[in-house]
Amino acid sequence: MGDHQCPKLAVWKFASCDGCQLSLLDCEDELLALAGEVSIAHFPEASRAMAPPPYDLSLVEGSITTARDAERIHEVRKHSKTLVTIGACATAGGIQALRNYRDVKEFTSIVYARPDYIDTLATSTAIADHVPVDMELRGCPIDKHQLLELISAVINGRQPNIATHSVCVECKLRGTVCVMVAHGQPCLGPVTQAGCGAICPGCDRGCYGCFGPQDTPNTDSLGKVWLQADRQPDELRRVFHNFNAAAEPFSEAGSKYGQDDHS
């Protein structure tokens, strides 16, 4: 395929740690094939070459935490045919959305020597709260197989296979012994969306919920199961208010088990 026909890929960064973008570079074996199929038009993390808009596929990492970014995302949207959000920050506001439960001025005064240099919004919000999003990839960080699946679906004009069911499905497909039932370990798998391949239960620890809520999350029932297993309400608040603290089902669930002000 000649370079001129290749779809133009752009990667954008908002408030984030860069881990999700790096998943793209982490594709090692597939990276050459990818470079042959898309032209990387804008990816500052990987290359200084910048091609002008429009872009066929934009991958957006990070959440909106500044007034400037709240404007910039509209520019990105305008220049992108397909816009895909990647990672917990872009899809749910990320770990930095913990500020949504507190007074951000208090944070800046503790953390920075000159808080008056800091110009930030009171909340961290998902990209979809600002512009229409075509597809999303969950995870903190995203899973590279899902990323490749999504890119190859977009290039080939088909639906990507991105499940919205629980982690338990993947856990059982790989034959893992349930850590909650057999080892008495707390696990968020039943309320969390699949996509990681159930890595944590596979390493004998409960799921941390980094892919956010599955499509029918019964957080109340799981909370009761944890409490019956002698877990403390505060622990439940902290596990729900984590990477996906601002994803609605997790946000509501966490708030039921206590106030973040006292953390």
Partner 1 sequence: MQDRANHRFVVTRHDFSMLLATLRERGYLLLGPTLRDQAIVYDEINGAEDLPAGWTDEQEAGQYKVKRRDDNALFAYNVGPHSWKKFLQLPSLTLWKAQKTDNGFKVEERDEATPRMAFIGVRPCELRAIAVQDQVLTGGDHIDPDYARRRKHAFIVTVQCTQAGNTCFCVSMGTGPRAEEGFDLAVTEIIDTHRHEFVIEAGTDTGAEILARVPHRSASEADWQNAQSATQRTAEQMGRQIETSGIRELLYRNAEHPRWDEVADRCLACTNCTMVCPTCFCTAVEDVTDLAGQTAERIQRWDSCFNSRYSYIHGGIVRPSTRSRYRQWLTHKLAYWHDQFGSSGCVGCGRCISWCPAGIDITEEVAAIRANDGGGMEQGRKTNE
Residue 215, contacted partner among ligand SF4, partner 1, none, CB below 5-8 A by kind: partner 1
| Residue list 7-66, contact with partner 1 (CB under 8 A) | 30, 33-34, 36-37
169 sits near partner 1 (criterion: CB under 8 A): yes
CB of 117 to partner 1, least distance (A): 44
Select the residue interacting with ligand SF4 from 38, 97, 131, 168 (CB under 6 A). 168
With contacts defined by CB under 8 A, name the span among 55-63, 68-76, 158-166, 234-242 that binds partner 1: 158-166
Q: Which residue is closest to ligand SF4 by CB?
A: 189
Other C-beta atoms closer than 10 Å to the C-beta of 96 total 23
> How far apart, in Å, are the Cα atoms of 147 and each of 59, 62, 152, 205, 222?
10, 16, 9, 25, 29
Q: CB of 141: closest distance to partner 1 in angstroms?
A: 20
216 binds, among partner 1, ligand SF4, none (CB under 5 to 8 A by kind): partner 1
Stretch that binds ligand SF4, among 48-56, 155-163, 175-183, 253-261 (CB under 6 A): 175-183
- Residue 187 lies near ligand SF4 (rule: CB under 6 A): yes
Amino acid sitting at position 175: G
**Of 190, 213, 217, 223, which lies in the binding site for ligand SF4, with binding defined by CB under 6 A?**
190
Smallest separation (angstroms) from ligand SF4 to the CB of 145: 18
The smaller minimum CB distance to ligand SF4, of residues 113 and 182, is found at 182
Strand partners, 192: 213
Smallest gap from Cβ 238 to partner 1, in A, equals 20
Complex with partner 1: residue 163 or 199, whichever CB lies closer:
163
HSE value, Cβ hemisphere, 13 Å, CA-based, for 221: 6
3-state SS record for the chain: CCHHHCCEEEEEECECCCHHHHHHHCCHHHHHHHHHHCEEEECCCCCCCCCCCCEEEEEEECEECCHHHHHHHHHHHHHEEEEEEEHHHHHHCCHHHHHHHCCHHHHHHHHCCCHHHCCCCCCCECHHHCCCCCEEECCCCCCHHHHHHHHHHHHCCCCCCCCCCEHHHHHHHCCCCCHHHHHCCCCCHHHEECCCCCHHHHCCCCCCCCCCECCCCCHHHHHHHHHHCCCCHHHHHHHHCCCCCCCHHHHHHHHHCCCHHHC
Query: Taking CB under 6 A as the rule, does residue 189 contact ligand SF4?
Result: yes
Binding site residues, partner 1, CB under 8 A: 1, 30, 33-34, 36-37, 148-149, 151-153, 155-156, 158, 161, 163-166, 168-169, 172-178, 180-183, 187, 189-191, 204, 214-216, 218, 220-222, 224-225
Binding site residues, ligand SF4, CB under 6 A: 167-168, 171, 176, 178-180, 187, 189-190, 198, 201, 207
